Chains A and B, each alone.
Chain A
Amino acid sequence: MKYIDEFRDQKQARDIAKAIAREAHADRRYRLMEFCGGHTHAIFRYGVQDLMPDNVEFVHGPGCPVCVLPIGRLDEAMQMVETHGVILCTYGDMMRVPGAKRRSLIQAKADGADIRMVYSTQDALKIARDNPERQVVFFAIGFETTTPPTAVAIKQAQSEGLENFSVFCNHVLTPAALGAILNAETPVDIDAFLGPSHVSTVIGSGPYEPFAEQYGKPIVIAGFEPLDVMQSALMAIRLINEGRTAVENEYTRAVTREGNTKAQALVNEVFELRDAFEWRGLGLIPKSALQIRTEFSGFDAEKRFPVQAQPVSDVKGCACPEILRGQKKPLDCKLFGAVCTPENPMGSCMVSSEGACAAYWSYGRHRQKADQEGQSKGAA
């Protein structure tokens, strides 16, 4: 596969690893936060950490829209199906997330709720056209990468007069989340950020510049493949060594400074900022999420189907808030692996395969076993 296979080459990986080992100063640590869940997934799936020297560490960030969606919003979506009898269209990622009373969309479906998994907003529009007598709600989640497709769908629904179609909007913004991490009360021990690949394709590398400047941390926009992640780590290490707080772009084949202005314009046309939005694990963040503008309120599911969910607090002992900010590791959480597993997720970090805890459990559990064995051997 072109533009995929070349970026996974083992020999190149070893070479970049050697360069990293050479350029990372032995007398300090480098803590690099990969913001995006996709990067967390890639790091674990390919075992990138194993090619890094011991003093270079990846810290996993909150860039997983499934992980940060509050349980209350999922329950509101469920209410739309169960109380109002709509057809709920959703991306696959949301199907297994447990809501209140630990019930997921898959379980609601088993109970008879009309929930349909779709690959694209175009599929949701088709379902609306094919079922004119039913109400069809699209459960919109995602960062800036996934927002333009929702904007297109709303505009298309408007031009077609597809009145039985509406959108339950939960789109969130990356720079706001970045700000929340950097603004945390306890200052976070991160030396540089690896910026998200595909969010940046849409918003461009420009929006990160104020953060690099204000907080004094370099940001490298990293591509999606393991070689991109490694090369970006190398670029971050160089910036740290030089004491430069710049925004650099490793993913130049898909990211420019301005981004995709056509997509941005469409999003601005359909959506506006919410004053504040509750993020699971991160709390209330101002100006961090989008809602549908009044001109398109006819397609706003929140207006069409008033629902009210009870706020659900996270489980006691769950360390997600600290893990999302890079202050703790999955292993530091008492619930990890004991009560909390991918089959029975307690908090946001375990709920999606992109979450730090889920990735660590599924792909990196051997490190835990090895660590434990090492500890017990040391103690003996």
Chain B
Amino acid sequence: MGINLKTGKVDMSHGSGGRAMAKLIDELFVKHLDNAFLRQGNDSASFDMTASRMVMATDGHVISPLFFPGGDIGSLAVHGTVNDVAMMGAKPLYLSAGFILEEGFPLADLDRIVMSMAEAARSTGVSIVTGDTKVVEQGKGDGVFITTAGIGIVPEGVTISGDRARVGDAILISGSMGDHGIAILSKRENLEFETTIESDSAALNGLVADMVKAVPQIHCLRDPTRGGLATTLNELATQSGIGMQLNESAIPVKPQVAAACELLGLDPLYVANEGKLIAICAAQDAGNLLSVMRDHPLGKEAAVIGRVVEDRHHLVQMETCLGGQRVVDWLAGEQLPRIC
């Protein structure tokens, strides 16, 4: 008898290593993620590497709600790690996926999530080659937590790192800010608002490949996830020991994202993204890089938003839409909706 995907729930036996777990792996995980590695049935995957430089990255995913407009925890887990690898300019190849399941979690939801991961992996061109499943008692998990790790190969001559921004460099972003965070918030309890905004969760390796091909000497790449654009730019400024001067009017924000932020008293610069990247390159490469980005479906709204300046305080500053100046500071804790 096969596993009961319709009404079945995760129970402790699914994590105990016995027949129930083997069934779950076979009839759910391997069925969807299907590839030669998984079909071997080993606890690990083995492969040859041809490159001299590799990149490895890992990401834990604890998002709530598990299913949101534009994605789910599964696709997010794949895109997130793929992007971390891609931000080094690397071509992502293989992913691992560890699942921590809560006792009582519906198998139908797990099935949906794993199918989504399979689809994300397929369209990205990566394989999930090894994994693990554990079950925790009811109340000790949030349905499901997923940890993915990924490896990729760095092409020759590419050194992309957060400490390589230089005075005079151009700062570019690949598209509109704040979509993911607002899509998630719109489903949070006590905050419900109706919006057509969807998460921008996407794998950026294709876009990065095009960018690196045209401008192999890109200095920095990073995806502005938690804490938004502002947080990531501050990280880069500190890492590289420089300051930044941004232009608020150049930063694309979808009208509904701007509106939702107004409603809740949030600043879109601090709202999470899951399918966007920041690129910092020499000023003379900016024009070329921008047009390559705009030619890619995930970079249609790409823009130059500022430049790197000398500043021993490593401040990120911005000319506001009004023409005044402000600092774009680190976030002090999670941004919360406010009444004031």
A/B touching: CB–CB < 8 A: yes
Binding site for B on A (CB under 8 A): 1, 4, 8, 10, 13-14, 37-38, 41, 44-51, 64-66, 91-93, 95-96, 106, 116-119, 123, 142, 146, 226, 341-343, 352-354, 361-366, 369
Q: Is the CB of B336 within 8 A of A51?
A: no
Q: Is the CB of B325 within 8 A of A365?
A: no
> Given that A117-B190, A366-B315, A369-B315 are contacting pairs, would A13 and B323 also be in contact in the complex, using a CB cutoff of 8 Å?
yes
Per the bound structure, the CA–CA distance linking A56 and B154 in Å amounts to 56
Q: Is the CB of A46 within 8 A of B324?
A: yes
Per the bound structure, the CA–CA distance linking A362 and B339 in Å amounts to 19
Q: Is the CB of B190 within 8 A of A37?
A: no
Q: Is the CB of B340 within 8 A of A47?
A: no
> Given that A1-B255, A1-B259, A118-B190 are contacting pairs, would A64 and B340 also be in contact in the complex, using a CB cutoff of 8 Å?
yes
Per the bound structure, the CA–CA distance linking A146 and B339 in Å amounts to 8
**Which chain A positions have C-beta within 8 A of B337?**
92, 117, 119
Which of B259, B323, B333 gathers most chain A CB within 10 Å? B323
B262 interfacial contact with A, CB 8 Å: yes
Per the bound structure, the CA–CA distance linking A41 and B191 in Å amounts to 23
B322 interfacial contact with A, CB 8 Å: yes
Which of A46, A51, A119, A366 is within 8 Å of B190, CB to CB? A119
Which of A41, A46, A343, A354 is within 8 Å of B332, CB to CB? A343
Using a CB-CB cutoff of 8 Å, which residues 235-256 of chain B contact chain A?
A: 249, 255
**Which chain A positions have C-beta within 8 A of B325?**
47, 50, 366
Q: Is the CB of A10 within 8 A of B321?
A: yes
- Return 16 A-B CB contacts under 8 Å, by A number: A10-B321, A10-B323, A37-B340, A46-B320, A46-B322, A46-B324, A46-B326, A47-B325, A50-B323, A93-B336, A116-B190, A117-B336, A343-B333, A363-B329, A366-B315, A366-B317
Q: Is the CB of B317 within 8 A of A66?
A: no
The 4 A-B residue pairs with the shortest CB-CB distance, nearest first, are A47-B324, A92-B336, A50-B324, A342-B332
Q: Is the CB of A45 within 8 A of B340?
A: no
Given contacts A91-B339, A364-B326, 8 further A-B contacts (CB under 8 A): A47-B319, A47-B326, A51-B323, A64-B340, A96-B332, A119-B264, A146-B339, A363-B326
**A-side binding surface: helix, strand, loop or mixed?**
helix
**Which chain A positions have C-beta within 8 A of B332?**
96, 341-343, 362
B258 interfacial contact with A, CB 8 Å: yes
Q: Is the CB of B321 within 8 A of A46?
A: yes
Using a CB-CB cutoff of 8 Å, which residues 261-302 of chain B contact chain A?
A: 262, 264, 267
> Given that A1-B255, A343-B332 are contacting pairs, would A93 and B338 also be in contact in the complex, using a CB cutoff of 8 Å?
yes
Which of B320, B329, B338, B340 gathers most chain A CB within 10 Å? B340
Using a CB-CB cutoff of 8 Å, which residues 21-47 of chain B contact chain A?
A: none
**Which chain B positions have C-beta within 8 A of A363?**
326-327, 329
Q: Is the CB of B323 within 8 A of A38?
A: no
**B-side binding surface: helix, strand, loop or mixed?**
loop
Q: Is the CB of A51 within 8 A of B317?
A: no
Q: Is the CB of A10 within 8 A of B322?
A: yes
Per the bound structure, the CA–CA distance linking A369 and B317 in Å amounts to 12
B140 interfacial contact with A, CB 8 Å: no
Q: How many residues of B contact A (CB 8 A)?
A: 29
Per the bound structure, the CA–CA distance linking A4 and B258 in Å amounts to 11
Which of B191, B262, B319, B320 is within 8 Å of A45, CB to CB? B320
B291 to chain A, nearest CB (A): 27
Per the bound structure, the CA–CA distance linking A240 and B299 in Å amounts to 53
> Given that A1-B259, A343-B333 are contacting pairs, would A354 and B323 also be in contact in the complex, using a CB cutoff of 8 Å?
no
Which of B191, B322, B327, B336 is within 8 Å of A364, CB to CB? B327
Q: Is the CB of B315 within 8 A of A365?
A: yes
Task: Using CB atoms, name the residue of chain B closest to A143.
Answer: B340
Per the bound structure, the CA–CA distance linking A169 and B20 in Å amounts to 55
> Given that A1-B255, A361-B329 are contacting pairs, would A92 and B339 also be in contact in the complex, using a CB cutoff of 8 Å?
yes
Per the bound structure, the CA–CA distance linking A118 and B336 in Å amounts to 11
B191 to chain A, nearest CB (A): 6
Which of B319, B325, B336, B338 gathers most chain A CB within 10 Å? B338
Q: Is the CB of A366 within 8 A of B323?
A: no
**Which chain B positions have C-beta within 8 A of A117?**
190, 336-337
Which of B255, B321, B327, B340 is within 8 Å of A65, CB to CB? B340
Per the bound structure, the CA–CA distance linking A342 and B191 in Å amounts to 25
Q: Is the CB of A365 within 8 A of B327?
A: yes
B313 interfacial contact with A, CB 8 Å: yes
**Which chain A positions have C-beta within 8 A of B336?**
92-93, 95-96, 117
**Which chain A positions have C-beta within 8 A of B324?**
46-51
A20 to chain B, nearest CB (A): 14
Q: Is the CB of B329 within 8 A of A362?
A: yes
B264 to chain A, nearest CB (A): 8
Per the bound structure, the CA–CA distance linking A37 and B326 in Å amounts to 17
A348 to chain B, nearest CB (A): 13
Per the bound structure, the CA–CA distance linking A106 and B264 in Å amounts to 19
Task: Using CB atoms, name the residue of chain B closest to A17.
Answer: B323
Per the bound structure, the CA–CA distance linking A119 and B340 in Å amounts to 12
A104 to chain B, nearest CB (A): 9
Per the bound structure, the CA–CA distance linking A48 and B324 in Å amounts to 6
